[in-house]
Amino acid sequence: MRAIAIPPQSCYLIHMKRTNLVLDERLLDEATRVLGAKTFSGAVNTALEEVIRLKRIQGVSQFFGSGIWKGDLAEMREDNPRRQRRAK
Residues of the chain with pLDDT under 50: none
Q: What is the pLDDT of residue 76?
A: 75
Is residue 85 one of the residues assigned to a domain? no
Q: What is the pLDDT of residue 12?
A: 66
Is residue 18 one of the residues assigned to a domain? no
Q: How far is it, in rounded angstroms, from Cα 27 to Cα 44?
A: 10
Q: What is the pLDDT of residue 45?
A: 95
Is residue 53 one of the residues assigned to a domain? yes
Structural domain boundaries enclosing 30: 24-66
What pTM value is reported for the model?
0.56
The domain total for the chain is 1
Q: How far is it, in rounded angstroms, from Cα 70 to Cα 68?
A: 6
